[in-house]
Structure 1
Amino acid sequence: MLYGVSYYWEYQPFDRLDDDVAMMQQAGINYARIGDAIWSLCEPAEGDFRIDWLQRVLDRLHAADIKIILTTPSYAIPPWLHRRHPEVMAIRADGSPTPYGGRQNVDITNPTYRHFAERIIRLLWERYADHPGVIGFQVDNETGTVGAQNPAVIDAFTEHVKRRYGTVDRVNQLWGLTYWSHRLGDWADLWPPAGNTSPGYDLEWRRFQAQLTTDFLRWQADIVREYAGPDQFVIHDVVGFHGRSEADRYAIGDAMDVVAENFPHATQDGLAHPPVDGLAMYPANTTGPGAVQLYQRSDMAYGVKRKNFFITEMNPISIANSDNVFPCYDGQWRMAAFSTISRGADMVAYWHWHSLHYGHEIYSHGILNHDLERNRNYDEVAGIGRDLQRHGDTLTGLTPDSEVAFLYSYDSRWAMANQPPLKTPDGRRPDAGSYARIFDAFYRGFFDARAQAVVLRAGADLGDHPVVVAPGLYVADDQTLAGLADYAEQGGHLVLTFRTGYADEYARARWLRAPGRLREAAGIGYNLYSDLAKPLPVTGSGGLSIPAGAQATGWMDELVVEDEATEVLASYDHPHFGRFPAVTSHRFGSGRVSYVGTLPDAGFACSIADWVLRTSGVTPLGAGLPESVRFTRSTTRDGRRLAFLSNWSFDNHRLPDDLVAGTDLLADADVGPGRPVELGPWDIRIIAEADARD
């Protein structure tokens, strides 16, 4: 298990390398990521290379048995590169160059930029790649294209479209360019993206932007692998959760040896379960609060390769800006670490070691505050380090349980960003984040129902998961939809939502009664739908128990039952919309397809998920436990079963002594009959379960 920090010796106000390393050792830190923003230090003027200073940092970390990931310093360019070669800067949609003064402000396809980036990378790697302390490499940092619309990028897009579609006539057909007299007569007629209004064009442009990001990272990875030894790996730290709009975590994961993601999360009451809504803190105000955020981030990362992943950045004292300083409550750093490990993390690392004394991120604090002394963050990190020193081998390489597979579709996300089905919650504008909002509502519903999940790319092999959920799968080809129908027919329980199956792979509305290719499997159809100007109350039937006050929000499909085997599970309490089902379920072959025609609020979503799980023969772990207590399971590399019990509240809980039997790894105590698990406030326990055969 790797446990550590991003370390910036070069940012310290004075040389305290020995003190830093000694404090890391005392905290059980065994990993450091370095080098991501050192270009101007290593090359202060063009061709003036000064890289000897890095030797001492690497040597000192290695002497302390702290493993090192060396990062290519390409995401923040030195001033001389901007001044002498202004053509490297990204051109914005309005035609103006991105000004210098920040980071990630270049056209990553620009050959001049790539020449100088490759030169500094090769210089550093020739010197340091085989350093005995370096176990792996990170290429760039949280990469995207920053929406660059440089002439060469637009020209490359035209070439991309030529390769993908072949002829202008095919583009005209598939993008529907007869509309508004946009038909192309020649490839030269393909206009720049800044003025585009065609959904087909927009979707292809977004796909192209994501491909540029992946190609850039693969280009760097190929350079780095020329110097890598057989035991060294290559990673890239993807912006976690829904991440950058021009970065496809699955495509990037295919290009890397290990999946790595950054996990900024809400803290304090922002980690409580049930979630406390309305918190004015990052990222709760953009991603939603509650313990669910850590589990969803983890399940998304694990699902990229269905393998263990690294967390390259997690909250120390605080993350973000000077107005977002929310240090964890005692115990929350510990819970964040072990809950993500329970879902497959093989590295937990904090961004970063010490708080900066200058620059944009002065108040995006490290583990040490500006006084560089011990504090309660450091003390809790050290406690985690001691536990990982004892049990890290056991906790490395875990396979988390999952009864539910969620399907994630970048195409649907991009298409909904262009033509959102939902308004923002205040009703003032289209919600470009509609896809994430739909996805998150259903993930949270199943989390609240105590399901264990994994998030797979749309079109992936669904394995033997008893439940598959396809939230907002708006853009999909016939093969993908046929695969979902086949999954249900062969015995699985498929959950569809509004907008699923509505458009084809070119973002064209299908000329079939919705939900298109899934209509027969779902046993329902519809040809009208409506945004909801206000939430509607709902009532349950057919075994679906809906809590009082539950609501349908945002949208509703005017569903019509088309097969006598289709059950109506929920309806709207409304004089007009009351005639249409809100939720249906249809037996199909050996399985079942359930359809949710609206965006359920939290209580409604949980009741749907609970019904789906029960109907699918899944008994969620921890049913009947206090709401703040979560229970998940994983399997170790040698086949042992681990139970993780966590309490996301200030309450104390004594759990039933027949819940789980075995050894509490963190407390070195037996649990089971007569020895119940005691959970204090913000507490987590890891139980190595007794073999049922004993």
Structure 2
Amino acid sequence: MVKKTIPLILLTLLISIIKVKSQETSHFFSEKDLITTGIYYYPEHWKESQWERDIKKISDMGYEFVHLAEFAWFKMEPEEGKFDFAWLDKVVGLCVKYKLKVLMCTPSATTPAWMRTDYPETFIMDGHYTRAEHGTRGLASIVNPRYRLFVEKIVAEMARRYGQNKDVIGWQLDNEPDAKPDYSASSQEAFRQWLKKRYKTVDALNEAWGTAFWSQWYNSFEQVMIHNTNLVGWWGNNPHALLDFKRYCADAQAEFLDFQAAILRNHISKQQYITTNYTAVSTGSDPVRTKKLDFAAYTAYPNGGSDNIGELGFRLGDSRVILFASAYYKQLGGVSGVMEIQPGPVNWGSYNPLLLPGTVRMWLYHSFAAGGKLACSYRFRQILYGAEQYHSGVIQTDGVTPSPGGEEYMQFMKEIKELRKQYRPGVKMPEKLATRSTAILWNLENYWTIDRQKQTTQWDTWNYPVKFMEIAKSLGAPVDVIPETADLSKYKVVIVPAYEMVDSALVKKWNSYVTDGGHLIITCRTATKNRMGHFWEGKLAAPISGLIGAQVTATDMLSVYGKGDVLMNEKHYDWNNWSDLLLPNQGTEILASYDNQFYKGKAAVTKRKVGKGTVTYIGVATDNSELEKDLLRDIYIQAGATVENYPPGVFVYWRDGFYMAVNYSSANYTMGIPETSKILIGEKILKPAGILVWKE
């Protein structure tokens, strides 16, 4: 009896902790306000005589908060130990005067010149052991003790000054933390300490890294240096050492953010939140490793010289940027938002075209529709000098005229105020959507290990899981991106795309989910390695063979010009990227088979019933995703759900009682909404860059 009670108590405690954390996060944002809007302003770039004019303009345009101090360390601490906040006090006072809240930022991303001159050891070293110089952002060694001391002092000074100010709503830490590789002496020592904590003994390290290969063996931790592909060479890389280096960099970055958060917590009000602005495509930083942030925000620059969907795509941006980031960053704290969104042409793209009118507004609606609680734009004024002078703002170079993006931001904010009037609390997700509820399981470590050993140039490591999100959204499903610690029972369908590294506990969790009635989709390149990136001493993907009811007997890749053929339900599909050859067990259903190559007739996709649910294994990766979409459609229907069929680039969401659609495609699309629907914003015919908001 006791054995059954203890797990129940622990489960109840865990659920209560999750609920408390969720409540703590949600209290920062009013549900009835739907979303709050802000703008980056850099008073240090402009004459003091213009500050009040600018702040008043921000208020008049409809913004609700101002983002300050991010890159202003030089102005807050012009000399070591001498702090000056009088100028910042004045700007904060102007914000209060014009009824604007303030989002304060810690300036750790841009160190002042005196630090590099007097303390060069505080800067990183690159893979050629060259010390970084003063002149840009993000070059400090975040593990260097002296740099940490300087950060501690400036953050504490800011926190003491603004931590109890009721007009300061929160804090952004650093800027676009990217877990940058650092080969400096400080980092080498920090890495050795990280390894000691992880492995305890050098023998365990040698086993994990496979150092018996090519005489890489270590006699002590002191012999270990960061594995450096610049000097070892690509062919000589140790994938296990490099995986640990990525883990260390991500842990160091997370710990650095938590370090700053802890300083703030000693001084700030509980009403002030702490976040940061990860890049939308974050391949280094891992937000779920932080412990002390309230939630994670992201930056989104969808358009930087890429072709995208159709002839207008180069003006509309990459739909996948906000699509994935808006779901991915909710893993931390349960909410998210776009902290830095592109206001117009940028200066860093392969080419920097004008945006199609309406595009910025569409991006804002996309972030909002996907659950964003805040939408902030970089930046208010287009700067007249410096590396980003070609990067647009919401105000043009004359300092007073709104840019096209600024006009669209004003339109968005005006429309949000109207939607707030339509908001009704407590509205539940419609049942037709709940029956399609879908999660994509994602762990950044799988990106690291696969991208190091892709085996084919055609493998798009980051966008492989994103394509399953695109497919699920095209079928009308609400989609979350979740870590493996999440509760899978909340979802009708769980997709596990290319989850290369697993352990027995995770596979057991998947099995339980299916047994209890879930529909699990596992793809190729899953469970091929253990958590250290070693192959199993057994069959390929051995840990999941029992679950999927099949063995992976071999894998194949074709040339770019190769023509692979898969047959399913008398329909042919092309592939040339990746294929697993499957040997099904008795009772396992074959859904698709290869129809050419020397292994014609071998199974490519299998399905098995387990308890109340099903597990489908997709062993082939197609470029046009038609096979995967047809499979997902069938799975939803068999699970009792209806499906939609939205074209590429059209995304539909439900949030807080509102349906919302955006169109990244180059063609008009007519939304098939019920005749009884009430259109609040937009029209049924969704033009390129168009949006539609309605209630049913």
Q: State the TM-score, normalizing by the size of structure 1.
A: 0.87
Q: State the distance in 2 between where 1:412 and 1:476 align.
A: 9
Residue 622 of structure 2: aligned partner: 600
**Other-structure match for 1:18:** 52
Structure 1 residue 279 displacement after superposition = 6.7
Aligned to 1:227: 267
Deviations 1:118-145 (A, max 9, x none): 2222223322333332111111111134
Corresponding residue to 1:450 among 444, 456, 476: 476
Look up the match of 2:289.
251
- Measured against aligned partners, the alpha-carbon deviations of 1:378-437 in whole angstroms (never above 9, x if no partner) come to 2221111111223347399999866110011122111123322331x4xxxxx6xx4313
| Correspondence for 2:632 | 609
Greater CA deviation, 584-593 or 498-507? Answer: 584-593
Equivalent residue for 2:412?
Answer: 384
One-letter code aligned to 2:536: R
Equivalent-residue separation in structure 2 for 1:240 and 1:478 (angstroms):
31
Is residue 2:671 matched to residue 1:633? no
- Distance in 2 of aligned mates of 1:264 and 1:399: 32
For the pair 1:420 / 2:454, whether they are aligned, the reply is yes
Tell me the distance in 2 between the aligned counterparts of 1:208 and 1:300.
21
Q: What is the match of residue 680 of structure 2?
A: 665
Q: CA RMSD in A?
A: 2.8
Task: Write the letter of the residue equivalent to 1:12.
Answer: W
User: Deviations for 1:546-581, whole angstroms, at most 9, x for unmatched residues?
Assistant: 6xxx42232211222223332232x33423142323
CA distance in 1, matches of 2:455, 2:426: 40
List per-residue Cα deviations over 1:182-220 (Å, max 9, x = no partner): 333333333432247332222222111110000000000
**Matched AA of 1:483:** K
The CA distance in 2 between the partners of 1:179 and 1:116, in whole Å, is 43
Between the aligned partners of 2:589 and 2:692, the Cα distance in structure 1 is: 43
Q: Please identify, of 138-147 and 176-185, the stretch whose mean Cα deviation from structure 2 is larger.
A: 176-185
Taking a change above 3 Å as real, the CA distance of residues 99 and 512 of structure 1, as seen in their structure-2 partners, is same
Counterpart AA for 2:653: T
Counterpart position of 2:75: 41
Are the equivalent residues in 2 in contact too, given 1:142–1:237 (CA < 8 A)? Answer: yes
Opposite residue 80 of structure 1, the aligned amino acid is W
The answer on 1:152 being equivalent to 2:159 is no
1:478 equivalent to 2:500? Answer no
Match of 1:553 in 2: 576
Instruction: Give the aligned length.
Output: 647
Q: 2: distance between equivalents of 1:125 and 1:173? A: 46
SS at match of 2:393: coil
Measured against aligned partners, the alpha-carbon deviations of 1:274-296 in whole angstroms (never above 9, x if no partner) come to: x2399778xx9xxxx64343222
Aligned mates of 2:101, 2:351 — CA distance in 1: 31
2:548 is matched with which residue?
522
In 2, are the aligned partners of 1:536 and 1:573 still within 8 Å (CA)? no
For 1:590 and 1:515, locate their aligned partners in 2 and report how far apart those are by CA, in whole Å: 24
- 1:403 aligns with one of 428, 433, 437: 437
Question: Do the aligned partners of 2:191 and 2:226 also contact (CA within 8 Å) in 1?
Answer: no
- Relative to structure 1, the CA distance from residue 304 to residue 293 in structure 2 (aligned partners, 3 Å threshold; closer, same or farther) is same
**Paired position in structure 2 for 1:686:** 693
Query: How has the CA–CA distance of structure 1 residues 457 and 422 changed in structure 2, closer, same or farther, with 3 Å as cutoff?
Result: farther
Q: How does 1:271-420 map to 2 (within 5 A)?
A: 275-276=309-310, 290-305=318-333, 307-321=334-348, 324-372=351-399, 373-392=401-420, 394=423, 403-420=437-454
Q: 1:561 to 1:32 in 2, by over 3 A?
A: same
State the percentage of identical aligned residues: 21
| Cross-structure match for 1:126 | 160
Shift of 1:510: 1.1
Q: 2: CA distance between counterparts of 1:183 and 1:268? A: 46
One of 222, 244, 249 as aligned partner of 1:204: 244
1:580 to 582, 602, 624: 602
Q: Which segment is superposed worse, 452-461 or 528-537?
A: 528-537
Name the aligned partner's letter for residue 419 of structure 1: Q
Evaluate the alpha carbon distance shift between residue 553 and residue 11 of structure 1 in structure 2; reply closer, same or farther with a 3 A threshold: farther
Deviation per CA, 1:603-630: give whole Å up to 9, x if none. Answer: 333223323322333323x44x666654
Change (3 A) 1:576 1:226: same
> What amino acid is the match of 1:204?
D
Q: Give, in whole Å, the separation in 2 of the partners of 1:448 and 1:327.
A: 28
C-alpha spacing 1:167/1:651, structure 2 compared with 1 (3 Å): closer
Contact 1:62 1:132 in 2 (8 A): no
Following the alignment from structure 2 to structure 1, what is the Cα–Cα distance between the partners of residues 508 and 455? 24
Q: In structure 2, how many angstroms separate the alpha carbons of the residues matched to 1:657 and 1:666?
A: 14
Q: What's the counterpart of residue 692 of structure 1?
A: none
User: Per-residue deviation at 1:466?
Assistant: 1.3
**Counterparts in 2 of 1:18 and 1:355: CA distance versus 1, 3 Å:** same
Q: 1:214 aligns with which of 228, 234, 254?
A: 254
Q: What is the match of residue 428 of structure 1?
A: none
Specify the code of the residue in structure 2 equivalent to 1:463: S
1:465 pairs, out of 491, 512, 516, with 491
The residue aligned with 1:672 is none
Gap change, CA 1:346 and 1:657, over 3 Å in 2: closer
Aligned-residue offset at 1:347? 0.4
